[in-house]
Amino acid sequence: METERVIAPLAVPGVAGSAILQAMPSGPDFGVPGFERLLVELVHGAAQRVAIVSPYLIPDEALLTAIKNATARGVTVDLIVSQAVDQRLVSFAQRSYYQELLEAGVRLHRYRDHLLHAKNVSIDGAIGIIGSSNADVRSFMLNAEISLILHDPDASAELAAIQQVYIDRSELLTLDGWKRRSIGARLLENLARLVSPLL
């Protein structure tokens, strides 16, 4: 006679620290675009500062509007992207948004040292997000992603300090300087933007 095997439940680990963290998955298997909705809502609710680090930054209309509204009400918005690229078509599509963002008053930093593949967000020094999701349509809608939300001022302050290191090692784009890029570059950017929802 076979004996039934009893599987013991997994032990719940004890509390290791004081920070409150929340894991949030998102992707096509979920009913709503979780990371995109969270990011848009946080930007709309920001009172002082928004910092977004993403190697692939192709905002949808909701995020673009939230960023523009934030700068219009006096919020400092820092976008940190990578100057080194590994996806040329994606890079051209991303660059097609730079003038619009600069005209809105966004501070756009291009990290110089190497391909910056970090993906994180901080809002008002009070909440942070670290995860696998880029700020682009593919991550918002198609990819399975995971984000760790930091509901903790101390953890968020540490994240903001890391973001400041990125900024210190970046080139700050100016609107006048960006407008001086070649006509050929503008053409490639506009063509890439046409297919940006597929990237």
> Residues for the chain: how many in total?
199
- Give the Cα separation of 175 and 167 in Å (integer): 17
* Tokens, residue 30: 């979920």
**Who contacts 183 (Cβ-Cβ below 8 Å, separation ≥6)?**
none
- Which pLDDT value is given to residue 199? 58
What does pTM read for this prediction?
0.85
* Tokens, residue 63: 């995020």
Yes or no: say if 163 and 63 are a contact pair by the CB < 8 Å rule.
no
Q: Is 69 helix (H, G, I), strand (E, B) or coil?
A: helix
- Which pLDDT value is given to residue 69? 97
* Tokens, residue 103: 């005209």
- Which pLDDT value is given to residue 3? 62
Mean pLDDT by 10 residues, the chain (199 residues): 66 74 80 81 96 91 95 97 86 90 97 91 93 76 82 90 96 93 86 72
Domains of the chain: 35-198 (3.30.870.10)
Q: Where are the beta strands (DSSP E) in 33-144?
A: 49-53, 57-58, 76-82, 107-111, 120-123, 127-131, 135-136
- Give the Cα separation of 65 and 62 in Å (integer): 5
- Which pLDDT value is given to residue 196? 67
**Who contacts 172 (Cβ-Cβ below 8 Å, separation ≥6)?**
107, 108, 109
* Tokens, residue 56: 């692939």
- Among all chains, which residue has been given the structure tokens 């709503």? 32
- Which pLDDT value is given to residue 77? 98
